[in-house]
Structure 1
Amino acid sequence: MDILDYAFMQRALLAAVLVGVIAPSVGVYLVQRRQALMGDGIGHVAMTGVGLGFLLSTSPVWMATAVSVLGAVLMELIRWYGKTRGDIALAMLFYGGMAGGVMFTHLAGGSTANLTTYLFGSLSTVSASDVTSIFLLAAFVMAVTLGLRRQLFAVSQDEEFARVTGLPVRTLNLLTAVTAAVTVTVAMRVVGLLLVSALMVVPVAAAQQLTRSFAATFAVAVAIGVSVTIGGTVTSFYQDVPPGSTIVLLTIGAFIALTALASPLARRRARTPAAAQAAGDPAECVIPATRGPEDTVGV
């Protein structure tokens, strides 16, 4: 039985590849900004958009995109001006998004089963119009994350320094938030709103176990993202398991495997300068940097 003989699997695989590319592309900036859970918060807000889509008989994807973008902008405003009460405001925003999604879905005459496909992903429900929407939104995400990579990296690295150099820090922060919101809505059909944050963050953390530069981290994270989304989609088809959870578990497995591989590599790198120093070769006497998944990587 060829998986590509089924039209719905062709659509699902195409959507999976797009999600596998864009989720780590945005996640690399969120990890640098130490906002790894931002995608999770946006996913909660997007539930209201899905519910509104049902209620107004419009596309849940596009409605979720609009609501998510609004929520992401509010999150940034709260981060700027919220101060000590910012965490409470964010909590109300996240919980309100979840409650709104359930309420609007109920008012639309649907059941929570309609919402579940968006919460955890569903391969069989990816339609041709969904693929078109995902493609257009993914093109926007890639245009931002690649076209403005130097500016976004500078702001993610050090906002004060970026401001001194003349970069529009607040505008770039808002653009990052909006791009993250778009990514969440793109991924909800494949991974689900409640699991998309893992696909945005964990591949980046896994890539950082092996890489030392921003460009390498970006490339490896995208490669991991594409691999796990395709692997999870194919596995869910043949084994009849939920696609979203399968993809996330494969992503975590990749992180564990690369972490185990990185430890002996780090020890080998550490021994190389020591051996060079003992041999009296000053050109090789470089102290290796030690960093974790949350630390800075260079461009």
Structure 2
Amino acid sequence: MEFLQDPFMQRALLAAVLVGITAPAVGIHLVQRRQALMGDGVGHVAMTGVGLGFLLSTNPVWMATAVAVVGAVVMELIRAYGRTRGDIALAMLFYGGMAGGVMLINLSPTGSNANLNSYLFGSLSTVSDEDIVTICVLAAFVLLVTVGLRRQLFAISQDEEFARVTGLPVRALNLLIAVTAAVTVTVAMRVVGLLLVSALMVVPVAAAQQVSRSFLVTFVLSVVLGVAVTMAGTVTSYYRDVPPGATIVLLAIGAFVLLTALAAPMARRRARAVEVPRERCDVAVPGVRGPSDDVKV
């Protein structure tokens, strides 16, 4: 395969696989908690971290991780204590985070519009060896949390009150989900881009839910879909010279449409299979008038 001979494509494919695994692994909990847009808010906040990285001449990925974690924790605390509406807090993260990032990148001596676009929409050629090390470390953390604490995270995603009654540390686990989502955003931003990373956390999960009713099957299928679309999008971007983030998201949406179309006839067949024929229930019982009996006055 020609594209595997280029070192930057080897790095890009490795990053794509890690993103395809981690994004749906966290996204399934956000979807269950009806916080599908959380990744978008955190992504905008991470932009401020990228700007700080350029301004302070440090690694933008690590700085973005630190700022995104702080933003996610603040948003979760606001949601938990209810001091303001969740949508207002999310809007503040959207606008303040993005504006701060753009301003800081323009103020930094090494920042440019090319740097900005590579973080907003993803870029294959800019994934360095240092980025790969960072992405691997962050992805390992995400997988450790989502797989190691899968039962606890499932419990609080389904019913926080029940989880609290059973003795689970609900507040700590909620903060852990927020932190893990923030880390996932920074893992994915070099491949998908900060503006599109939320789609990769949500769309594969939504697609898997069309054909599965089990949480475990949905988890596995969404990860498989995530890896498939990120790798396909990365290879397509290499050959067609198109933005990798947009290509990956469009492929994920295509998978959602396809599985939705396949799920409709499957649902109809299941409904017919469990439907009890009317004639089987129409049993004559002495003294009991059935629905087809004539009523005479």
- Matched to 2:175, the amino acid is L
Separation (CA, whole Å) in 2 of partners of 1:47 and 1:141: 20
Change (3 A) 1:276 1:25: farther
Change (3 A) 1:53 1:160: same
Separation (CA, whole Å) in 1 of partners of 2:83 and 2:57: 39
Separation (CA, whole Å) in 1 of partners of 2:209 and 2:94: 29
Q: How does 1:237-248 map to 2 (within 5 A)?
A: 237-248=238-249
1:42 maps onto 2:38 in alignment: no
C-alpha deviation, 1:118, in angstroms: 0.4
Worse-matched range after superposition: 94-103 or 172-181: 94-103
Per-residue CA deviations over 1:218-265 (Å, capped at 9, x if unaligned) read 000000000000000000000110000000000000000000000000
The answer to whether the 8 Å contact 1:102/1:112 transfers is no
Separation (CA, whole Å) in 2 of partners of 1:90 and 1:23: 20
The answer to whether the 8 Å contact 2:78/2:89 transfers is yes
Q: How does 1:78-93 map to 2 (within 5 A)?
A: 78-93=78-93
Partner of residue 204, structure 1: 205
Partner of residue 191, structure 1: 192
The answer to whether the 8 Å contact 1:78/1:90 transfers is no
- Matched to 2:2, the amino acid is D
The answer to whether the 8 Å contact 2:122/2:245 transfers is yes
Residue aligned with 2:206, SS: helix
Partner of residue 106, structure 2: 106
C-alpha deviation, 1:83, in angstroms: 3.8
C-alpha deviation, 1:80, in angstroms: 1.5
C-alpha deviation, 1:84, in angstroms: 4.2
Partner of residue 286, structure 2: none
Q: How does 1:224-235 map to 2 (within 5 A)?
A: 224-235=225-236
C-alpha deviation, 1:209, in angstroms: 0.4
Question: Any unmatched runs of 5+ in structure 2?
Answer: 282-297
Partner of residue 291, structure 2: none
- Structure 1 length as normaliser, TM-score? 0.91
Change (3 A) 1:127 1:276: farther
Separation (CA, whole Å) in 1 of partners of 2:75 and 2:84: 14
1:261 maps onto 2:262 in alignment: yes
Per-residue CA deviations over 1:97-154 (Å, capped at 9, x if unaligned) read 1111011111112222211100000000000110111011000000000000000010
Partner of residue 51, structure 1: 51
Per-residue CA deviations over 1:48-102 (Å, capped at 9, x if unaligned) read 0000000111110100000000000000011022444443333223211111101
The answer to whether the 8 Å contact 2:78/2:84 transfers is no
Residue aligned with 1:10, SS: helix
- Matched to 2:118, the amino acid is T
- Matched to 2:138, the amino acid is L
The answer to whether the 8 Å contact 1:123/1:189 transfers is yes
Separation (CA, whole Å) in 2 of partners of 1:118 and 1:278: 64
Per-residue CA deviations over 1:253-287 (Å, capped at 9, x if unaligned) read 0000000000000011111112688779xxxxxxx
Partner of residue 219, structure 2: 218
Residue aligned with 2:255, SS: helix
Separation (CA, whole Å) in 2 of partners of 1:81 and 1:241: 44
The answer to whether the 8 Å contact 2:29/2:153 transfers is yes
The answer to whether the 8 Å contact 2:79/2:85 transfers is no
C-alpha deviation, 1:212, in angstroms: 1.1
Identity of aligned residues (%): 76
Separation (CA, whole Å) in 2 of partners of 1:222 and 1:243: 19
The answer to whether the 8 Å contact 1:20/1:227 transfers is yes
Question: Any unmatched runs of 5+ in structure 1?
Answer: 281-299
Per-residue CA deviations over 1:146-183 (Å, capped at 9, x if unaligned) read 00000001001011111011000000000000000000
The answer to whether the 8 Å contact 1:52/1:101 transfers is yes
Residue aligned with 1:227, SS: helix
Worse-matched range after superposition: 75-84 or 264-273: 75-84
Aligned length: 280
What is the root-mean-square deviation of aligned Cα atoms in Å? Answer: 1.4
Separation (CA, whole Å) in 1 of partners of 2:279 and 2:210: 28
- Structure 2 length as normaliser, TM-score? 0.91
Partner of residue 77, structure 2: 77
Partner of residue 163, structure 2: 162
- Matched to 1:52, the amino acid is L
Partner of residue 128, structure 1: 129
Residue aligned with 2:70, SS: helix
